[in-house]
A and B are shown apart, each in its own frame.
Chain A
Amino acid sequence: EIVLTQSPGTLSLSPGERATLSCRASQTISSNSLGWYQQRPGQAPRLLIYGAATRATGIPDRFSGSGSGTDFTLSISRLEPEDFAVYYCQQYEGSPQTFGQGTKVEVK
Chain B
Amino acid sequence: QVQLVQSGAEVKKPGASVKISCKASGYTFTNYAMHWVRQAPGQSLEWMGWINAGNGHTKYSPKFQDRVTITRDRSASIAYMELSSLRSEDTAMYYCARVLVAGATLAFWGQGTLVTVSS
Contact = CB atoms under 8 A, between A and B. Distances in A.
Interface residues of A, number: 22
Interface of B: 37, 44-47, 59, 61-63, 95, 97, 100, 103-107, 109-112
A104 B45 CA distance: 14
Given A96-B62, A96-B63, A47 B105 contact: yes
Contacts of B104: 33, 90, 92, 97
Contacts of A45: 37, 45, 95, 97, 106, 109
Contact of B45 (A32, A50, A56, A88): A88
Contact of B107 (A32, A56, A99): A56
Given A99-B44, A100-B44, A44 B100 contact: no
Interface of A: 32-33, 35, 37, 44-47, 50-51, 56, 88, 90, 92, 95-102
A95 B59 contact: yes
